[in-house]
Amino acid sequence: MNSINNNYYDQPTKNDDYNVNNKFINNFDRLKLLIPYRVIDKLNYLDFRENNIKDFNTLETKNERLSIPKNLLRNFLGINGIDIDFKSGHVVLDITGKINASEGNLGLINSANIYNTLKNVNDTGLIEFNINAAIELANVLYCDVTKDIYVESPKQSIKALKLFLDKSSSKYKILKYKTGILIKTPANSTKDSICFYSKYDEIEKSKNERYIQIIGEGLEASKNILRVERHLGRFKSIKRAFGISSKDIPLMSVLGSNMPAIFNRLDEVGLKEEELTDEDSR
Amino acid sequence: MKTVDSLLKMEGRQAMLERFGNDLDKIRHYIRIECRLAPNKDLSRIMKEFKILITLKNKSKKQYPEFIILILEIINKVKEAEMEIK
């Protein structure tokens, strides 16, 4: 496997999930990345073998696909999937913000902590790659842009949104999502949708004891968090949301974009100040 | 020592507006004293919320039911988080 040793990025000294020096940065709860196989330094053969994939070398030479088994991934918080396609020469890495969770910190991914995020993936030992090269060469296949809003009662806020949007049922479709709602326009699939849910209720409901243990007092602090997420699963939607004009969707173009992806989507689904305060539209 | 959020939660924004007669300077001063904030601590985000509440209070309650206020709060908080590039 090739090894690329260029140092494109400085390693941040500490995770910073939220705004850095008041500068706006987009936070992500989930990222699905397409990483060239050539940046991979090592695959942990033993872990694969333990999960009954007997002849790894044959797989590699036959240009087949390999997915790290879900039952193995369950042991690693924040990794949804690692799929290797030897034929196309890519690795699809599906990670969530939980990989950065720590005491008092629910964990999100952004431009300031991307190095540490990928380092956390490396530290699992499942797969090891050149982090700087991966950051430079990765493309985004899917992402959830996330904003945590502090409100008095997330449940009341969700009810209010439902009440308002229900009245415009022809314009929007409202689906139940986790401990909240998901809004999509009938024309769009859920691949460009926006959702609101109570973070505290979601953590409680998930019964993910390991995660709850890691975030510690973060659970109590999440009681007032209304999580807003925009799910982007189409290339066209991702490019539009982050103002990307290139053919590919480089990871840093997404993480470094200063486009207000969530606010713009709120506007598109009719959640805008003018519409709410205009008596005729209610 | 109280944080700004815990103070607001404890006292309630509406109650503070009534207590200080919608005077934002007095509210700002009160928050600084209660939370022992440095003079250069930026309170613009908090004060913007108070401004919205005053605006909404000035409209009739019939025109702006509670659920609209809650949604406006969400929109405003997303907007302020995403739009204010400093």
Tens of pLDDT along chain B (86 residues) come to 788 888 887 888 878 888 898 899 999 999 999 999 988 888 888 888 788 777 766 654 555 577 888 888 898 888 888 765 43
The predicted structure's pLDDT at residue A242: 95
The predicted structure's pLDDT at residue A65: 76
Residue A78 has pLDDT above 50, yes or no: yes
**What is the distance in angstroms between the Cα of A247 and the nearest Cα belonging to chain B?**
26
For residues A96 and A35, membership in a common domain is answered with: yes
Is-contact A129 A33, C-beta < 8 A?
no
For residues A151 and A264, membership in a common domain is answered with: yes
In this prediction, residue A79 has a pLDDT band, given cuts at 50, 70 and 90, of very high
Range of the domain at B10: 4-83
Look at the pTM and tell me if it is higher than 0.80.
no
A151/B78 Cβ within 8 A: no
Which residues in chain A have Cβ-Cβ distances shorter than 8 Å to B70?
A: 151, 156-157, 160-161
Interchain CB contact of A66 with B (< 8 Å): no
Interchain CB contact of B70 with A (< 8 Å): yes
ipTM: 0.77
The last residue of a domain, from among A137, A166, A201: A137
A156/B71 Cβ within 8 A: no
The predicted structure's pLDDT at residue A57: 52
A22/B70 Cβ within 8 A: no
Interchain CB contact of A276 with B (< 8 Å): yes
For residues A230 and A112, membership in a common domain is answered with: no
For residues A169 and A268, membership in a common domain is answered with: yes
Amino acid symbol at A35: I
Q: Which residue of A has its CA nearest to B79?
A: A263
> Which residues of chain A from 6 to 35 reach within 8 Å of chain B, CB to CB?
19, 22-24
Residue A52 has pLDDT above 70, yes or no: no
Disruptive mutation site among A26, A259, A266 for chain B (greatest number of B CBs within 10 Å): A266
The predicted structure's pLDDT at residue B57: 67
Q: Return d(Cα B75, Cα B72) in angstroms, integer.
A: 5
A263/B78 Cβ within 8 A: yes
In this prediction, residue A23 has a pLDDT band, given cuts at 50, 70 and 90, of low
Amino acid symbol at A276: L
Disruptive mutation site among A194, A277, A279 for chain B (greatest number of B CBs within 10 Å): A277
Task: Give the N- to C-terminal CA distance of chain A in Å, as an integer.
Answer: 61
Nearest to A271 by CA among B17, B77, B51, B58: B77
Interchain CB contact of A42 with B (< 8 Å): no
The predicted structure's pLDDT at residue A167: 62
User: What radius of gyration do chain A's Cα atoms show?
Assistant: 20
Q: Which of A24, A151, A152 sits opposite B84 (nearest CB)?
A: A24
Q: What percent of chain A has pLDDT over 90?
A: 50
Total tally of structural domains belonging to chain B: 1
Average pLDDT over residues A138-150: 95
The last residue of a domain, from among A98, A116, A137: A137
**What is the distance in angstroms between the Cα of A111 and the nearest Cα belonging to chain B?**
15
Q: Return d(Cα A129, Cα A111) in angstroms, integer.
A: 18
Average pLDDT over residues A214-242: 93
Tokens 């309650």 sit on residue: B61
Disruptive mutation site among B6, B44, B74, B86 for chain A (greatest number of A CBs within 10 Å): B74
CA B18, B23, B24, B25 dihedral sign is negative
For residues A12 and A133, membership in a common domain is answered with: yes
Interchain CB contact of B67 with A (< 8 Å): yes
Q: Return d(Cα B1, Cα A214) in angstroms, integer.
A: 26
SS3 content of chain A, % helix, strand, coil (to 5): 35, 25, 35
Total tally of structural domains belonging to chain A: 2
B72/A276 Cβ within 8 A: yes
For residues A212 and A105, membership in a common domain is answered with: no
Q: Which residue of B has its CA nearest to A18?
A: B81
A24/B83 Cβ within 8 A: yes
Which tokens go with B70? Answer: 């809650």
The last residue of a domain, from among A137, A154, A169: A137
In this prediction, residue A9 has a pLDDT band, given cuts at 50, 70 and 90, of very low
Which residues in chain A have Cβ-Cβ distances shorter than 8 Å to B83?
A: 24, 260, 263
For residues A225 and A268, membership in a common domain is answered with: yes
Q: Return d(Cα A199, Cα B54) in angstroms, integer.
A: 29
Range of the domain at A204: 146-249+258-282
